[in-house]
């Protein structure tokens, strides 16, 4: 009996696979869905926040401008006040907003994956996080993350359809030399996936040589500049209201080069921005507009993500809480502020304070991920695999979050209302006839295009679930991680290019770790 | 050392408790928050759904009207068509909507809990579900639910601040006599909590005697009618587009009595309503408006929850999936349709297909609960403790969901934007001074009124978490359930009233089970 049941299940799966292939590209969920149905702020709120941010920039200003930035800014009409803070006239900020890039694209290196279009109400989910540790489920502990983890996490993302960009999830803690760090992070991303990528540089001097590496991969000088497949992270602001030296230098460099400035501005409410969330929004908006002004003074129209990321403190301890309701609200509000300015945005969502992928991680991630998407954030970073308020990263959480993000995106995708979908004729036929819609042609037609089926989430009958061992989603995720990572060694760099890169750069990812049988999985 | 750490922790807790008492009533989260920031449907979508529903009611009609309902309806201008289906003229439906009750209140029996105001954009979360089984974490199995479970679940809800109404979560499977069932469910609710309640009757004849029981508790005949603390569930529609005999009878009876008609209309997309979600919305709207017409024909202005609950099928198997993105969308859309009509609403959200409180349960519950709240559903039922697509109920999930609902409500509560919260002066002081907001008076002032702290969700540092045993939220929930249920035996029925009820009704809840030391916890 059991064999027959299994066989039937196999056939059903096969039939579904065929139907899915037939419906390919019609999946209800994909990169670039339109968000915007959720508006946490009223129009008057947005105007007040904007007006306060302009006041802040004109009368409080931003501290610690570098000499180079100062020269650019003074030329453009800014001034240093008595406290040596750089103040921005309102007209300059208004002109900056009017002239700034409205959108940009991070390209996929393969037609198998979508490009990430950043602007309008488009919604894309990306990993990122730069955690320093990896969660070990066997003993519920964390170990330092290594370069090979970044590569393995990328291989996993390469297979996960609800994650549209692979941003740097972990830091290779064994690489302490900034040069080695930057080149090796770049290499690990390239080797792991052809999806659009994101990384952060520890030294602005490494940007140009790394672009040479990218051009080698694309097969010719200047190709990366034409179709960039990677955005450049960094935090040029040290809140409250000061520039950060190293990352400001990076911002200047990438602006000069006309690259995508994929910054993040992350004050922490109650610690480095006001405890009142509205005040935090005003401050982070001012900090974001200051960066936007600098980028546009240096290179008018150069793309910059309006990436205002207000983090939240647990005010009992002062420590960062990424999984709070306040966090969901603040990030969604920032997505809306970005739309108010019609700028390309990113936010951080799907964070959790839990140290493992339990029910807490589930609801904290689900609530923050869906609200950010509904608010129309263009790129939602930190959105998969992160644990412990970004302290750690988990292979299993990454798998689980892929399902969670699918569900969130199904909500963002919304409901199509037209004469056909309103189904008057189908209702009449069924109400007067069979009394049941299961066999209706409409039902069969929509089952693969309007409905999303999870990969890991369990929908079996209770009896079947018990028969299969009463597993939770964590156990199923562990099985899937092992299955994928022991077999999926993609061939994204051809041998010749790989050899050329290794000849030119100090690549530390061992060739044996890039093939099956290395004993890791 | 450990003792000292604990003592310090105790002092911090004590300090926080005092601060909280000082800020009592200012918690950012409470019953009746204003939702509405999320609008899944456009105004034109709403108009199309409305217009289709009117067409359905006029040209397809509703099957199986009872003779009594038929008489009422024909008198009001309806007609039976050639298929013996009851058809409603558009003008009657439009008049019904115009004249229907806009709101109602379900009262708390104690000032310690809030009344539930149903109408406008008010958002309240309630249990319900009528599951037939209880999840046993020890061996990950389900056992049949009993009357004492309903009482114990109610005692738990009595202590959980983010759940505003206690609806009947389980069926006492040992009580097969409908009379005993109804009286005992009512008694168990009354004994367990003074929060607003909800229950479903198996026989309409039991309604009047049960109201006598309620009047005994309130201390006088007619008192329940004046301040009802309980709403009456039921499903008067058998989708697609037919009346259900027993529950229609109940609807007629409660309408005559002027009670709150707390129905639920639950077609299942792809099975008993169209697979196209828009079509399901049109059908369920028609079904809801038909009930509203009947209620208002019988007793104009009698309150009825516009409770259109489109359930979703997994179209691969035809079985119900409560935890899907499609479900979050469909329920949120129905909350919005209710607002379109300005009727008091309920939806079902925070369901999951998982059989246990794992990460899947977390994200499925979180996403459906927050979207329903943001859409402005007045009462969100099924919202805590349910597992396995409503098949089972879990004490631990109920505890965990209380935190999840707190987070969802913190999102619904939104951001207050005004001159004070925009914090210009605080920003200036900090930017030019200390560079840090932690010690600011504003921060201390807002820490208990603007920020919500979870009860079970972990926010500790990784080291502290490991020291405390690397527990997941499920393990912490198990500890809390035992702690609360072994000690919290509330005295909601005085001895005299209790004796009087027991003398008049066949109460099956043993007195010994209502006191500590009964060996259950």
pLDDT at residue B269, as a whole number: 98
Mean pLDDT of A478-491: 97
Residues B4 and B160: their CA atoms lie apart, in Å, by: 30
pLDDT at residue A370, as a whole number: 98
Please name which of B376, B353, B437, B362 lies closest in space to residue B407, comparing C-alpha atoms: B362
Q: Which residues on chain A are in Cβ contact (under 8 Å) with B410? A: 324-326, 328-329
Residues B435 and B428: their CA atoms lie apart, in Å, by: 10
Residues B34 and A264: their CA atoms lie apart, in Å, by: 32
Q: Which residues on chain A are in Cβ contact (under 8 Å) with B417? A: 41-42, 44-45, 48-49, 278, 281
By the CB < 8 Å criterion, does B297 face chain A? no
Q: Which residues on chain B are in Cβ contact (under 8 Å) with A476? A: none
**A256-309 pLDDT per residue, tens:** 999 899 999 999 999 999 999 999 999 999 999 999 999 999 999 999 999 999
Q: Which residues on chain A are in Cβ contact (under 8 Å) with B374? A: 38, 371, 374
Mean pLDDT of A377-406: 97
Mean pLDDT across chain A, nearest whole number?
A: 94
Q: Which residues on chain B are in Cβ contact (under 8 Å) with A408? A: 325, 367
**A473-483 pLDDT per residue, tens:** 999 999 999 99
pLDDT at residue B6, as a whole number: 39
Whether B55 sits inside 8 A of A424 (CB atoms) is yes
Mean pLDDT of A304-331: 96
pLDDT at residue A175, as a whole number: 97
pLDDT at residue A4, as a whole number: 36
Q: Which residues on chain A are in Cβ contact (under 8 Å) with B415? A: 40-41, 45, 277-278, 281, 329-330, 333
pLDDT at A353 over 80: yes
Going residue by residue through chain B, which has 521 residues, state the pLDDT in tens, using 9 for 90 and above. 233 333 344 455 455 445 545 555 578 999 999 999 999 999 999 999 999 999 999 999 999 999 999 999 999 999 999 999 999 999 999 999 999 999 999 999 999 999 999 999 999 999 999 999 999 999 999 999 999 999 999 999 999 999 999 999 999 999 999 999 999 999 999 999 999 999 988 888 999 999 999 999 999 999 999 999 999 888 899 999 999 988 899 899 999 999 899 999 999 999 999 999 999 999 999 999 999 999 999 999 999 999 999 999 999 999 999 999 999 999 999 999 999 999 999 999 999 999 999 999 999 999 999 999 999 999 999 999 999 999 999 999 999 999 999 999 999 999 999 999 999 999 999 999 999 999 899 999 999 899 999 999 999 988 899 999 999 999 999 999 999 999 999 999 999 999 999 999 999 999 999 999 999 99
Cβ within 8 Å of A, B 445-474 = 445-447, 450-453, 456-459, 461-462, 465-466, 470, 472-474
Nearest CB to B356 within list A330, A403, A472: A472
By the CB < 8 Å criterion, does A359 face chain B? yes
By the CB < 8 Å criterion, does A415 face chain B? yes
pLDDT at residue B16, as a whole number: 47
A20 compared with B26, residue with greater pLDDT: B26
> Does the predicted TM-score (pTM) go above 0.80?
yes
Whether A437 sits inside 8 A of B240 (CB atoms) is yes
Whether A365 sits inside 8 A of B361 (CB atoms) is no
Strand segments (E) across B92-235: 104-106, 116-118, 122-125, 133-136, 141-144, 166-167, 197-200, 230-233
Alpha-carbon dihedral angle through residues A498, A502, A505, A507, given to the nearest 10 degrees:
100
Mean pLDDT of A10-26: 53
Nearest CB to A366 within list B317, B367, B457: B367
**A515: exposed, middle or buried (Cβ count in 10 Å: 0-12, 13-18, 19+):** exposed
pLDDT at A179 over 50: yes
- Provide ipTM, 2 decimals: 0.95
Q: Pick from B38, B53, B286, B360 the residue to mutate for testing the A interface (most A CBs within 10 Å).
A: B360
Instruction: Report in angstroms the alpha-carbon separations of B124 from A2, B35, B127, B346.
Output: 46, 10, 10, 9
Give a three-class secondary structure readout of A307-370.
CECCEEEECCCCEECCCCHHHHHHHHHHHHHHHHHCCCEEEECCCCCCCCCEHHHHHHHHHHHH
Please name which of A141, A139, A103 lies closest in space to residue A124, comparing C-alpha atoms: A103
Residues B317 and B298: their CA atoms lie apart, in Å, by: 41
**A396-441 pLDDT per residue, tens:** 999 999 999 999 999 999 999 999 999 999 999 999 999 999 989 9
pLDDT at residue A71, as a whole number: 97
Whether B325 sits inside 8 A of A452 (CB atoms) is yes
pLDDT at A18 over 90: no
- Is residue A187 within 8 A of residue A213, CB to CB? The reply is yes
**B432-470 burial code (b ≥16 CB/10 A, e <16):** beeeebbebebbeebbbebbbbbbbbbbbebeebbeeee
Whether A414 sits inside 8 A of B360 (CB atoms) is no
Residues A272 and A280: their CA atoms lie apart, in Å, by: 9
Cβ within 8 Å of A, B 37-66 = 37-42, 44-45, 48-49, 52, 55-56, 59-60, 63
Residues B225 and A432: their CA atoms lie apart, in Å, by: 41
Q: Which residues on chain A are in Cβ contact (under 8 Å) with B140? A: 466, 470
Structure tokens at A488: 């999926």
Residues A268 and A239: their CA atoms lie apart, in Å, by: 8
What CATH number does the domain located at A33-414+453-521 have?
3.20.20.480
pLDDT at residue B462, as a whole number: 80
pLDDT at residue A5, as a whole number: 36
Alpha-carbon dihedral angle through residues A235, A239, A243, A245, given to the nearest 10 degrees:
-60
Residues A266 and A249: their CA atoms lie apart, in Å, by: 18
**A41-56 pLDDT per residue, tens:** 999 999 999 999 999 9
B367 compared with A10, residue with greater pLDDT: B367
Residues B421 and B423: their CA atoms lie apart, in Å, by: 5
Cβ within 8 Å of B, A 326-345 = 326, 328-330, 332-333
CATH class of this structure's domain B26-55+103-288+300-413+432-521: alpha beta
Residues A377 and A268: their CA atoms lie apart, in Å, by: 20
Distance, in angstroms, between A494 CA and closest chain B CA? 39
Q: Which residues on chain B are in Cβ contact (under 8 Å) with A356? A: 470, 472
Please name which of A316, A269, A365 lies closest in space to residue B453, comparing C-alpha atoms: A316
Q: Which residues on chain B are in Cβ contact (under 8 Å) with A16? A: 316
Whether B458 sits inside 8 A of A355 (CB atoms) is yes
Q: Which residue of chain B is at minimal alpha-carbon distance from A353?
A: B459
Our CA angle for B403, B465, A144, nearest 5°, is 120
């Amino acid at each position: 009996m059991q064999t027959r049941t299994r066989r039937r299940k196999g056939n059903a799966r096969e039939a579904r696979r065929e139907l899915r292939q037939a419906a390919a590209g019609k999946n209800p969920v994909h990169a670039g869905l339109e968000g915007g149905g959720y508006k946490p702020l009223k129009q008057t709120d947005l105007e007040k926040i904007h007006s306060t941010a302009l006041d802040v920039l004109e009368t409080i200003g931003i501290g610690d401008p570098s000499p180079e930035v100062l020269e650019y800014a003074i030329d453009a009409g800014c001034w240093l006040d008595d406290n040596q803070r750089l103040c921005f006239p309102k007209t300059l900020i208004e002109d900056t907003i009017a002239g700034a890039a409205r959108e940009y694209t991070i390209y996929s290196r393969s037609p198998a994956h979508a490009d990430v279009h950043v602007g309008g109400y488009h919604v894309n989910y990306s990993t990122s996080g730069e955690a320093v540790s990896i969660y070990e489920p066997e003993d519920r502990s964390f170990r330092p993350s290594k370069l090979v983890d970044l590569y393995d996490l990328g291989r996993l993302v390469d297979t996960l359809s609800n994650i549209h960009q692979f941003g740097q999830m972990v830091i290779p803690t064994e690489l302490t030399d900034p040069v080695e760090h930057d080149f090796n992070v770049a290499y690990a991303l390239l080797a792991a996936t052809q999806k659009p990528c994101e990384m952060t540089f520890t030294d602005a001097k490494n940007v140009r040589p790394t672009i040479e590496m990218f051009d080698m991969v694309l097969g010719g000088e200047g190709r990366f500049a034409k179709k960039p497949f990677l955005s450049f992270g960094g935090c040029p602001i040290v809140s409250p209201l000061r520039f950060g030296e190293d990352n400001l230098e990076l911002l200047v460099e990438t602006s000069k080069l006309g690259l995508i400035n994929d910054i993040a501005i992350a004050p922490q409410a109650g610690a480095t921005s006001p405890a009142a969330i509205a005040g935090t929004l005003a401050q982070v908006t001012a900090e974001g507009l200051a960066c936007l002004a600098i980028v546009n003074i240096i290179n008018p129209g150069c793309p910059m993500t309006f990436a205002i990321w207000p983090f939240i403190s647990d005010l009992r301890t002062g420590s960062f809480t990424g999984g709070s309701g306040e966090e969901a609200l603040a990030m969604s509000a920032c997505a809306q502020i970005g739309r108010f300015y019609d700028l390309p945005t990113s936010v951080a969502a799907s964070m959790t304070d839990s140290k493992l992928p339990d029910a807490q991680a589930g609801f904290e991630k689900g609530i923050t991920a869906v609200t950010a998407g509904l608010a129309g954030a263009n790129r939602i970073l930190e959105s998969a695999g992160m644990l412990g308020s970004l302290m750690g990263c988990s292979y299993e959480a990454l798998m689980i979050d892929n399902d969670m993000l699918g569900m969130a995106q199904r909500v963002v995708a919304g409901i199509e209302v037209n004469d056909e979908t309103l189904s008057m004729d189908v209702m009449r036929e069924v109400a007067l006839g069979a009394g049941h819609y299961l066999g209706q042609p409409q039902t069969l037609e929509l089952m693969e295009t309007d409905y999303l089926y999870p990969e890991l989430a369990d929908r079996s009958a209770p009896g079947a679930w018990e028969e299969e061992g009463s597993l939770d989603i964590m156990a199923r995720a562990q099985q899937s991680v092992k299955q994928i990572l022991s077999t999926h060694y993609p061939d994204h760099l051809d041998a010749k290019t790989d050899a050329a890169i290794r000849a030119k750069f100090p690549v530390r990812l061992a060739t044996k770790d890039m093939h099956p049988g290395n004993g890791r999985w």
